Amino acid sequence: MICLQCGLVWSDPLPHNPREFYTQHYRLHYKGTYTPKPKHILRAGRLALARCQTIRHLLPTPQTILDVGSGGGEFIYLLHKLGHTVQGIEPNRGYAEYAESEYGLQVHIGFAQDVALPEEHFDLITMWHVLEHTERPAEVLLKLHRLLKPSGILVIEVPNVEATCQAPQNTFHEAHIFNFNLSTLQKLAEKTGFTGIGQLTSDDGGNITLFARKNAEKNGAPAALAIPGNAESIIRIVRGHTPLKHYTTAHPYRRLWHRLRQYFAGQYGTRDFTSGKALLDQLYAPTIRRHVHHGTPHQEPACQTPPMTRFRN
C-alpha cells in the first residue's frame, strides 16, 4: 500500500505477527540459527567498521550511545573498545544473550518502545535497518526522542524503496513492514520532533541514512505532512523497475560477485575461529591501534573500512 499524500509504503495486511516473529523466528528464518555463527560475526564485524566510519564525525569525544536492534553486539562492542559507553536493545533473546556473555555488553531484550530506560540519557542513538521492521515507527521515534539528551543525535539507516539495485521481485521484503524513501524518512523524523542535519545514500542506491538532531521541544506534528509528487515518483520508479531493465544493468552481476567474495572471505576469515570475541578483537585491532595512536579517546576514531556511502546535500 502507498499513501498518495506523502508516499509512505507499508504492508497491509501484516505478513506476520511482528512481536512473535522478531522474538522467536526472524534470526532462524534468515540466518538459520538462534545465535550468531562465526561467518555472521565476521560479516557483522566488517559492517560495524563501515558504520563506525559513517558516524565518525559524531564521535569527537566519548559518547553515551544506544544501538536499537543491536543483533549479536558487534557494532556496540567496537564502540565500547573505542572508549564509548554503550547499551543495546535486541528482541531476539539468543543474539542478545550472546552479546552479553561473549562481549560483556549491556543488551536489553525486547522492543525499543517497551524497554524501560532513563529519559534524556543518551548522546547518540543508532538504528541500522530496524525502523522498517517496526509496527508503529512514529511511536518508536517518539520514544527515542525522550531517551536522547537535549540536542542529541539520532542516526537511522533503512532500505530505499526507490532502489533498483535488487531484483524487482525483491523490492518488497517479507520482513519489512514499512518502506521509505529519503523524503518520507525525513518527514517522519520531523513529525516526531527531529531536525535533519545530513543524509547519505549508498553507492548502489539501496540504503539511505538520515542524521537528525532532537529539537529542544516536541511541539507535535508539523502543519504539513503531505509530500507533493512523492507517491507518483515512487510508483513510477517501482513500476519501471522491470526484470528486463534490471538484468541489462551491472547490478545483479556485481551483487553476485559480492556474495562470492563474501563467501570465500568468510571461509578464510573464520578458519581458525575460537570465539566471537577473539575474532572481533583481531578484526578491530588496526582501528583500535590507530585510535590509541592518536593519543586519547577524545580524538575522532579512524575506522579501518573505507566509507560505503557518499554524502548528498
Cβ-Cβ contacts under 8 Å for 140 (sequence gap 6 or more): 68, 112, 113, 131, 134
Q: What is the C-alpha separation between 259 and 262, in angstroms, rounded?
A: 5
Which H helix or E strand runs over 274? none
> What separation in angstroms does the CA of 309 have from each of 101, 140, 202?
32, 25, 4
Give the three-class secondary structure for 263. Answer: helix
- On whether the CB atoms of residues 51 and 43 are closer than 8 A, the answer is no
Identify which of 89, 87, 82, 93 has the alpha carbon closest to the alpha carbon of residue 60: 82
Which H helix or E strand runs over 39? helix 38-54
144 is written with which cell numbers?
527515542
96 is written with which cell numbers?
542478545
Owner of C-alpha cell 547518540:
124
Give the full edge-to-edge strand order of the sheet including 107-109: 107-109, 85-90, 64-68, 122-128, 148-159, 207-214, 194-202, 309-311
Owner of C-alpha cell 563474501:
262
Superfamily holding 9-288: Vaccinia Virus protein VP39 (3.40.50.150)
User: What single string gives the DSSP state of each residue in 65-98?
Assistant: EEEET-TTSHHHHHHHHTT-EEEEEES-HHHHHH
Return the C-alpha torsion angle 175, 189, 163, 25, nearest 10.
-10
Radius of gyration for the chain, computed over Cα atoms and rounded to the nearest angstrom:
19
Identify which of 194, 241, 227 has the alpha carbon closest to the alpha carbon of residue 2: 227
Q: What is the C-alpha separation between 169 and 163, in angstroms, rounded?
A: 12
Output the furthest CA–CA distance in the chain (Å, rounded): 58
Q: Per DSSP, what are the bridge partners of residue 148?
A: 122
pLDDT, one tens digit for every residue, the chain (313 residues) = 999 999 999 999 988 887 777 777 777 666 777 789 999 999 999 999 999 999 999 999 999 999 999 999 999 999 999 999 999 999 999 999 999 999 999 999 999 999 999 999 999 999 999 999 999 999 999 999 999 999 999 999 999 999 999 999 999 988 899 999 999 999 999 999 999 999 999 999 999 999 999 997 655 556 689 999 999 999 999 999 999 999 999 999 998 898 888 888 888 889 889 999 999 999 999 999 988 766 544 444 444 433 333 333 3
pTM for this one?
0.90
Phi then psi dihedrals of residue 194, to 5 deg: -120, 155
Cβ-Cβ contacts under 8 Å for 230 (sequence gap 6 or more): 6, 7, 181, 183, 184
- Break the chain into its structural domains and give their ranges: 9-288
